[in-house]
Amino acid sequence: MNANVVSHGAAVNIRRATVADAEALAQIGARTFFETFAADNTPEDMRMFLTSTWRPDLQRAEILDPGLDTLLACDAGGALAGFAQLRVAHPPTGIAVRSPVELKRFYVDKPWQGRGLARTLMEAAEQAARARGAREFWLGVWERNERAQAFYRKCGFRKVGTQIFVVGTDPQTDNVMLRELE
């Protein structure tokens, strides 16, 4: 995958990550998570989550994992503007699926939010999910993350259940959202 697309007048390139991207991926992941969720979590829970999730060695392993697709959206200068990660995985018990792929992470850097890049990245993610044989595309999103839920609804996802996602020591409720890909 290597697509040059225009997102609200700005050129954006969607490509697969390589190990050379591990550090930049760790940075944008930690920064975006912090900017989005710091106000709603204790500093200690944030610290625990960030240090256990966003480190160049961890992102390097993710990029090398053949079971995980890591797609990057880069601006005209090559800087990372957003990313998506997806894998074959089942949603929680009780949600009927045939061939599910999980959108594990989907982040757009703050300066690019609200500018159409998220839609472009989602289209690339869907294409990658189809390439893995997906008939259902699903994700977990914090029940209090209204902006992300509004975006996912615009993309055709609907709420089908809930699951627990632990931030530091805090078990939080994620809404599980799904869309069929036929």
Whose CA is closest to 81, among 25, 39, 5? 25
Smallest gap, in angstroms, from Cβ of residue 133 to ligand COA? 23
**Which of the ranges 9-17, 22-30, 148-156, 162-170 carries the binding residues for ligand COA, by CB under 6 A?**
148-156
Assess 138 for contact with ligand COA (CB under 6 A).
Answer: no
- Let me know the angle formed at the C-alpha of 59 by 111 and 12, rounded to the nearest 5 degrees: 35
Q: Per CB under 6 A, which of residues 77..106 are in contact with ligand COA?
A: 106
**Which of the ranges 6-14, 40-48, 123-131, 146-154 carries the binding residues for ligand COA, by CB under 6 A?**
146-154
Q: How far is CA 119 from CA 4, 49, 129, 136, 151, in A?
A: 14, 27, 15, 18, 9
**Which of the ranges 17-25, 53-61, 62-70, 145-153 carries the binding residues for ligand COA, by CB under 6 A?**
145-153
Smallest gap, in angstroms, from Cβ of residue 25 to ligand COA? 14
d(CA 11, CA 81): 11
Site string for ligand COA, 151-170 (x = CB under 6 A): x-------------------
Mapping DSSP onto H, E and C, the string for 141-174 reads EECCCHHHHHHHHHCCCEEEEEEEEEECCEEEEE
Residues binding ligand COA (CB under 6 A): 32, 36, 106-108, 113-114, 118, 141, 145-148, 150-151
